[in-house]
Chain A
Amino acid sequence: MPDGERHETLRLSHLAFDYRGAPALRDVTASFATRRIAVLGPNGAGKSTLMGVLSTSKRPCHGTFSHCGLAPLEGGLSAYRRQLGVVPQALVALPGYSCRELLDYVCWLRRVPGVHRRERVEAALTAVGLHDRAGTPLRHLSGGMLRRLAVAQALVNRPALLLMDEPTAGLDPQQRVSFRTLLAGLHETTIVFATHLVEDAAALADELAVLHEGRLLWSGRAEQFVHPDQITAAAVERRYLELVEQAP
């Protein structure tokens, strides 16, 4: 499809962010047309900052962004947040809360209508395999279960845009496979995930954005990143390292 006609899911336009003068994002501009976007980069590349900006918890000092036409910085903040799901890098257990209570709470935060809440909570818990742990206090969950719960809370409002920061960190190989299967089933959801694990990017993403020291080194379809016949973790990693090494 020619660029002028393609359906745009996510658009980043001259995004810049700094922490007390230290730039973390520098003029990041990109456009994505698919619903599976991986943000790759080494530690300190600006991935988490970009996720923070996209989740609206950080306000960029310059630039804008939009998802399917909804631009939070141009008056659409509430509508944008309503269709958002966020999987944080770490969700710490809150003493006393059960899984169901946490998801109820998130339903309230995301303004899920009361009549749908019970069904949404059950569906989200089932999707991550925690339906039999609904009443379990969070402090009794293992690290892996907490990661799954973090995903469940992000799905509870059936988001149109799902942001995940290092989503597979802390998961064992079997859980990682289940997790990828879960994401593969979310056909209507745009998933943007930040990772430094190229195998996640290779397995899940249709489009890639490579960040290095706050700059966007490359963005585009995965088959343009490496040859379409070679979309393997090893090929993606090789190309990614080449890019990082060539970076100014």
Chain B
Amino acid sequence: MIRAWWAEFRHGAPLAAGLLTLLAGVALGATVGRQPMLPGCADPLNAGLVLGVTVSPLALGAAAVHVARLQNGRLLALAGTSPRGRGGTLRLAWAAIAAWQLLGYAGAQLFILGNTSLHGYCSPAMLVLPAAGMGFSILMSGIGVLLGAIRPHWATGAIAGAMALFVVLGIQRLEGPAGRLVPTFIFTYYQPFLDPNVALNLAHLAFYLAAGAMIWALLPMRRGAGLAVVAAAAAVLGSGVLAHVVDGDPVQHRRPELRRCLSADGVQLCVWPESEAALHPGLVAIQRSKAVVGDRLPTPSTFQQEGLTGPAGSSTLRFDAREITTAELQHAAHRAMVPQPACQAGLEAWFSLLDWIVAGSEPGYAAPEALAIRSLPDGQQRTWLAARYTAATTACR
């Protein structure tokens, strides 16, 4: 098996498509923007997934061309008289193309990872991203083999590959029920405390493997494979339904005990380890915001970065973990002076309070309404603030 596979692997369409996939993957990997990626492994792995899926139509086209070549070389007919049958040759062709496809995927993925700062959160759960991507790639090469077996002509590969590219680029932007079967999240960036949704990605992987199993069962192109095809079709249906019913949101598995904390003047700030550089400037920003608020509003004494939990009455400091700037930390501190309501009802009051804080800190950026409140006598300001504070903090109870 190994020798036959090796012969398939290193010649003709599998070799050409494999090298092309590898080159395309590495070239695209070199151009993937690192700037938007958040710390940790999830975003580079997600970028690899998008890349792997995007170049997979190459394998589909190459597989169809390769099968046409086997047919024209009479090898497929010869295989039809052997114990392994046509199915054996087609499956071996699939294995050769898929191996190249996986190599291309792995090459591009390693290139992205090698060019990304991986400090931050990495977890085994994130491996579902490349697993789903590789499952998709294997399925695509299987579809190519099946199409080539149905219509063995080089044009099948060219047309099917081009159509697949069109479809793949389209489905990556799908939303709604159909989008639930797509493994890529091209506009998703994983916050440093979030893991991909394992259930959804495993449902994707199961769907691709089940569809692959169905193609595997169909490849002998003979009657008699009925039971295997029916079983695989049931698995496709089951995993498809599963992909629709599982909760698809990213989940938090990261343990909050890993926090780094700093206290000064009765105020404590805790952040994730990779954001340790934000501790001191964050604390300074909080003190500045507290000074702007003064004693007109009750403010928390404990703050934590998003994803960490704190004691009752603490507030969350939301800042972009990619690039920690003073301005951004200041804005995050303003927003954290009053804990953000978890429901829509309290948000209007909360935004009014935020505008009032910004008007006191940076009048040049403030809304005219907030500046008008700021110009009121202290008593009137306090009454106005108390009403909105109550609305912002109690509306969601």
Contacts and interface: CB of A to CB of B under 8 A. Distances in A.
B345 interface: no
A27 interface: no
B397 interface: no
A109 B82 contact: yes
Interface stretch (B46-54, B83-91, B106-114, B336-344): B83-91
A97 B75 CA distance: 12
B42 to A, nearest CB: 41
Nearest to A153: B78
A93 B12 contact: no
Given A92-B72, A97-B7, A97-B11, A108 B84 contact: yes
Interface residues on B, range: 20 to 34
Interface string A146-166: 000000010000000000000
Contact of A109 (B11, B74, B84): B84
Contact of B81 (A86, A95, A97, A111): A86
Contacts of A101: 3, 7
Given A81-B82, A81-B83, A104 B4 contact: yes
Interface string B69-109: 11011110111111111001100100000000000000000
Contacts of A97: 7, 11
Max count, chain B CB within 10 A of own CB: residue among A55, A81, A105: A105
Contacts, number: 76
Contact of B83 (A90, A91, A110, A153): A110
A88 B77 contact: yes
B312 interface: no
Interface string A63-86: 000000000000000100110101
A22 interface: no
A38 B222 CA distance: 30
Contacts of B74: 88, 90-92
Contacts of B372: none
Contact of B11 (A91, A96, A110): A96
6 pairs of A and B residues whose beta carbons are closest in the complex: A96-B11, A108-B4, A109-B82, A94-B73, A55-B81, A57-B80
